[in-house]
Chain A
Amino acid sequence: MSAVDVQIAGAVGAFDYEVALHLDAPAALVLAGPNGAGKSTTLKAILGAVRPERGRIAIGGADVFDAARGLDVPTELRAVGYVPQAYALFPHLTALENVAFGLRGPDRSARARAMMERLGVADLARRRPTSLSGGEQQRVALARALAPEPRLLLLDEPLAALDVVSRRQVRRFLAERLRSLEIPSIVVTHDIDDARTLGDRLAILERGRVVDSGDLTSVLQRRASPFAAELAASAFPQ
């Protein structure tokens, strides 16, 4: 059984999409495509912030959305970790309070601290998000998303808000982290370097359709679309 199974279709304004994605635990899937391909819509649908017209979404074998049955589990009950593009750390809370936000119980602070230690940001616990660098914010956002032990992790353009130098460092850090997770993750990106480094599985989305998907190397070799060809060209320079 797939750990994540997405088959959705619908329209947002004049844009219509029909997306199918399958992912086995604990792989990292990169969902790549040019701007406006429907990557964010797919991500929001998995999160429960966009309601598709047709289809089904299952996470860890349990349905969270099924249009035919009228099932639509609210976002807060889906147990999907989310790291938004600009991280969306709560500016009025410290880094530790951010990480503890999704935790309950008397040991929430200790658990949040432990997660921050795992991601190497324990020393930032008392800092406010505005005083952190882009790379630090991203680690704190990752710690926050992972702390409640989600069944799936979603990252939206995780490196887009960073400058070129920290981008390279954070990309390496993130690629290692995602590969060591025990849950599946989906990384959305339009950046070619991110697409070929952050996951082992790749799905290419163009104009609301998945034009190719599979393991990274075979998708790159097939060059099923102009975007895929461009990806391949940068992955295997002549």
Chain B
Amino acid sequence: MTFRTSRLAWNVLSRTGAAALLAFLVAPVLALILSITWADFTAGLAHPLAAPALKLSLLTSTCSLLLVTTLGTLLAWHLALGRGRAARWLETLSQFPIVMPPAVAGLGLLLAFGQRGAFGRWLAAATGFSLPFTTAAVVLAESFVSAPFFIQAAVAAFRRLDPELLLAARSLGASPARVFARVGLPLSAPALLGGAATSWARAVGEFGATLMFAGNLTGRTQTMSLAVYTAMESDLRAAQSLAVVLVGVAFGLLAVLRAVPR
């Protein structure tokens, strides 16, 4: 094969492969949006499942976002500053939910925080409150699966900080807490925002762990993703309308992520 033909072959093959994958990734999104009329979309949103699911998803994902960003920032700070093997192991441990199948995560949550679980039993004895199949359980399930995404972004951001900046701040009399608040946090803010957006997207899309640990109760534990699944059985139009809303949210987040300076 001459140089010219091999180059041509590479161009054709590589670009065809790239285009095929891209088309595959875009096709479901286009199908969701293009196969529904405006009238069907608004009618679907009027379905009795839609409004409670929207409200619940907004509430639970916001709660889990607050939980994950507050505690996750602190954890990431210590992981990033920590030296030695222990810090690396703890970081790996914090990433575990990413590779854990969602159904397995749900089962794990149930066994830890359910009525038979160690913490669940203690909580029930102390307060009479049982976590599974409550809105709080949805928040926990969403936090569990979405936290690693935020932690990962935050650890990376904190590791990028120049150690000399932190040392200079300390030498100026700043306590570790002040170094974190006045130097670490503001300098890492854009990356933390990006991590929070990814983490929130994962929380909104959570399905498996929520279903196992919190169930699928309208108005109480039925989030958007679960409502799409439930509506599929009775009203495809409603399922599609909810799905289009989720796609819209995802697009909005992508736009935010692209706008955030890295």
Contacts and interface: CB of A to CB of B under 8 A. Distances in A.
Chain B binds chain A: yes
Interface residues of A, number: 26
A47 B172 CA distance: 11
Nearest to A77: B173
Contact of A101 (B167, B174, B175): B174
A90 B165 contact: yes
- Among B168, B169, B174, B182, find the residue whose CB has the most chain A CB atoms closer than 10 A: B168
Contacts of A80: 171
Contact of A47 (B165, B171, B187): B171
B233 interface: no
Nearest to B189: A92
Contact of B174 (A44, A47, A76, A86): A76
A102 interface: yes
- Among B162, B172, B173, find the residue whose CB has the most chain A CB atoms closer than 10 A: B172
- The contact size tier of chain B is 10 to 19
Contacts of A77: 173
B261 to A, nearest CB: 13
- Which secondary structure dominates chain A's binding surface? loop
Given A76-B173, A101-B172, A148-B172, A49 B182 contact: no
Given A47-B171, A76-B174, A90 B183 contact: yes
Contacts of A88: 162, 164-165, 167-168
A102 B173 contact: yes
Interface of B: 162, 164-165, 167-175, 182-183, 186-187
Given A77-B173, A144-B172, 8 more contacts: A48-B170, A75-B167, A75-B171, A76-B171, A88-B162, A91-B187, A101-B172, A101-B182
